[in-house]
Amino acid sequence: MWQYVLRRSGQAFVVILLVTFITFLLLHNLPGGAARSALGLDATQAQIDAYNVQMGYDQPFLVQYAMYLGRLFSGDLGFSFQQNQPVVDLIVQRLPKTMVLSFLAAVVALLIAIPLGVVQATRRGQWPDYLVTSVALLAYATPLFFLGMLLIVLFSQTIPLLPPQAPQGFSVLDILADWPGLILPVVTLAIVTLAAYTRYVRSTMIDNLQENYIRTARAKGMSEGRVVIRHALRNSLFPVISLLGMYIPALFSGALVVEQLFNYPGMGLMFWQATQTRDFPILLATTTIVAIATVVGSLLADIAYAVADPRVRLSGGSE
């Protein structure tokens, strides 16, 4: 097991380096460059040249990238001239809010998807299965921004029950205190993963209900509910564990749209605003954090899958 963890950690480190390298390459080859984004359109060529010398942008690309990695490993993510703040301070302020939004959306999606998947599997080929499948596919195919606007129109204007804007508190506690404003963003983001979770639970439940141990449990006289919940559902949740780790990028990309749509003060909104102003330090830092979260989430999901299911044998790990 430890050999597997070390090997996967090494692979994750290489992936993160590649992501930072490609992002650094793309951003620093955009027209105008970092100097123009920091100094503005009115900056003279002399000012741009002086800025490039000061920041080391006049050095060869690999030297610039090595300098960036050195600052990154020391915890220095750069300085945002647009926000007039260190990027670390901005991330410390924004990241917990996005984590809260993504966590609540994942919990809501799972709480809805698991029962729906069970209903589909136990009623396979019947109208509940067809109904849930149709609704899930419709939700999956609906663009996220359109769905969010539809919910705003329905529940904020037509039926004025919820505020159209997300909470604007400075801290996580302020955000949670204004919980009615969280409902529409959380529900909108939850629908991103709801359909996928439902389909996964359904397919794995159907496979498990055909296994020999299910037939044995039924032959012993167990009730159908106990067979489904205690045996089939328990083993069907293992793929969902892996899916949770792999859906971190989807949650962030969904959060970017949702935060911009509902004006939620998280990482997604900050990234969106940084793209408009070409705030290179924020773009680099955000991409790096998402890459780290993705590979770490994938690694933790694989480890959790192996711990949850003793039948899993990891090559290079303990038997």
Question: Could you report the per-residue pLDDT of 171-196, keeping only the tens digit for each?
Answer: 888 888 888 888 889 988 888 778 77
Could you tell me the pTM of the whole model? Answer: 0.76
Mean pLDDT of the region 129-152: 84
At residue 318 the predicted structure's pLDDT band, cuts being 50, 70 and 90, is very low
> What's the chain's average pLDDT?
78
Q: What is the DSSP letter of 163?
A: -
Q: Where a domain ends, among 36, 59, 87?
A: 87
Say if residue 118 is in the same domain as residue 151. Answer: yes
The answer on 207 and 73 residing in a single domain is no
Same domain, 53 and 19: yes
Q: Compute the distance between CA of residue 72 and CA of residue 24 in angstroms, rounded to an integer.
A: 12
In a domain, residue 313? The reply is no
Q: Is 43 helix (H, G, I), strand (E, B) or coil?
A: coil
The H or E element containing residue 103 is: helix 87-122
Residues 73 and 100 in one domain: no
Do 7 and 37 lie in one domain? The reply is: yes
Q: How confident is the model at residue 50 (pLDDT cuts 50, 70, 90)?
A: confident
Residues 175 and 177: their CA atoms lie apart, in Å, by: 5
Determine the structural domain holding residue 287 and report its residue range.
93-308
State whether 18 and 47 are in the same domain: yes
State CA 296 to chain mean position distance. Answer: 12
10 or 264: which carries more pLDDT confidence? 264
Tokens of 20: 């930072």
Residue at a domain's end among 39, 66, 87:
87
Same domain, 276 and 224: yes
Asked whether 115 and 201 are in contact (CB, 8 A), the reply is no
For range 267-279, the mean pLDDT: 82
- C-alpha radius of gyration, the chain, whole number: 24
The packing angle between helices 61-73 and 2-27, to 10°, is 130
The position carrying tokens 């991409």 is 287
165, β-bridge pairs: none
The CATH number for 289's domain is: 1.10.3720.10
Note whether 177 and 268 are same-domain residues.
Answer: yes
What are the start-end ranges of the H helices in 123-211? Answer: 127-141, 144-152, 172-177, 180-209
Q: Are 69 and 267 in contact (CB under 8 A)?
A: no
- Residue 61's pLDDT is 81
The pair of structure tokens assigned to 12 is: 């994750």
Same-domain status, 126 and 216: yes
Per-residue confidence (pLDDT) for residue 294, from 0 to 100: 77
Domain boundary among 60, 87, 114: 87
Q: Are residues 197 and 279 in the same domain?
A: yes
Inform me whether the pLDDT recorded for 26 exceeds 80. Answer: no
Query: How many domains are contained in the chain?
Result: 2
